[in-house]
Amino acid sequence: MLLHTIKEVREQVKEWKKRGLVVGLVPTMGALHAGHLSLIKKAVERCDRVVVSVFVNPIQFCPGEDLDKYPRTLEADTKMCDDAGVSIVFAPSPNEMYGEGQISSNDFLTYVIPPFFYVNKLCGKSRVGHFDGVCTVVNKLFNIVQPDFAFFGQKDAQQLIIIKKMVKDLNIPVEIVPCPIVREESGLALSSRNKYLSDEDKKEALVLSKILNNINSCYKRGLTDVDALKETAYSFLNEHHELEYLEFMNQDDLEEVTIADNNTRVFIACKVGGVRLIDNILLGE
Ligand code: AMP
């Protein structure tokens, strides 16, 4: 069932809750692929009723980013959700979510601001305000759907860590379920933004997973010094790649580490053909 208004979703959820049904939420920006589908399948397995939100959230895009050209494929998304057993696809307009005129300037909206320590690094460094937009919209979706479980991909590992922190700090009654990264056979992590890549770029984009896998192999052979592990990446890079960051962090609290262990997650962001791609790996996996 495709719904566009908050009121309709609330009414439906209220009825489910009266019957004691367990509700799951999968927040997405649409252009659904097998990565999203893995979250949806997990949600359908675990919950009696599943809501998938499809909303390209304007307030998490920074000036100059791809808000206008972000792929929008609602018809195909709805079909994929229906086939997977989703009860509601919630696809609100920006005005429905934020109220008319509320987001034309930053002056009117109440935001949820995650802690500086978690956002002044990795994607938060170049995408200033991005995680404020993410936390605000996810908090709103939690309030609208009131899910028992919400499903997030490890693909966006910094986002997942920040959402968990928000849920803990704000006592939001939802359990966050992390889901593993889904990749193409080549190793490329699935992303809606892969649609921007030419065939040539797609080959060059394999550099992200190659660097991460190579670092993991070196780690498994006993190399734990982070500077030395970082060094191994550079031979993979060429003029097609614009490396934004390669960082080693404790995966619970995003504290930077100098000696890697099994709780270290390696994060990479790299532009290929002008498209910004991210990936990560937990060492020892
Ligand atoms: P997005 O539509 O990009 O905002 O993603 C919605 C959700 O799907 C987020 O929790 C993402 O982490 C997750 N997701 C996106 N791509 C993948 C992937 N390749 N594997 C696992 N989860 C993913």
Residue appearing with tokens 């509700």: 23
- 117 lies in the same domain as 157: yes
What's the CATH code of the domain at 239? 3.30.1300.10
Q: Which of 245, 44, 243, 240 is nearest to 158 (CA)?
A: 245
- 230 lies in the same domain as 97: no
Best probe residue, ligand 1, of 36, 57, 66 (max atoms within 8 Å of C-beta): 36
What's the CATH code of the domain at 134? 3.40.50.620
Half-sphere exposure of 139 (CA within 13 A, CB side): 21
d(CA 58, CA 70): 11
Question: Position 42: which residue type?
Answer: K
- 154 lies in the same domain as 262: no
Q: Does the active-site annotation cover 36?
A: yes
C-alpha 26 to ligand 1 mean position (Å): 9
Residue appearing with tokens 């719904």: 3
pLDDT in tens, the chain (285 residues): 999 999 999 999 999 999 999 999 999 999 999 999 999 999 999 999 999 999 999 999 999 999 999 999 999 999 999 999 999 999 999 999 999 888 876 678 999 999 999 999 999 999 999 999 999 999 999 999 999 999 999 999 999 999 999 999 999 999 999 999 999 999 999 999 999 999 999 999 999 999 999 999 999 999 999 999 999 999 999 999 999 999 999 999 999 999 999 999 999 999 999 999 999 999 999
Q: Which of 234, 63, 228 is nearest to 133 (CA)?
A: 63
How many distinct structural domains can be found in the chain?
A: 2
**Full-model pTM:** 0.97
- 169 lies in the same domain as 217: no
C-alpha 270 to ligand 1 mean position (Å): 18
For the sheet with 264-272, list strands across it.
Answer: 241-250, 264-272, 275-282
d(CA 174, CA 121): 26
**Three-state DSSP state, 155:** helix
Domain boundary among the residues 136, 155, 179 is at: 179
Instruction: Give residue 261's domain range.
Output: 192-278
- 46 lies in the same domain as 131: yes
Domain boundary among the residues 147, 179, 211 is at: 179
Active site residue: 36, 130, 240, 241, which one?
36
In a domain, 205, yes or no: yes
Atom index in ligand 1 nearest the CA of residue 153 equals 12
Specify the DSSP element, H or E, that contains 119.
helix 116-119
- 160 lies in the same domain as 33: yes
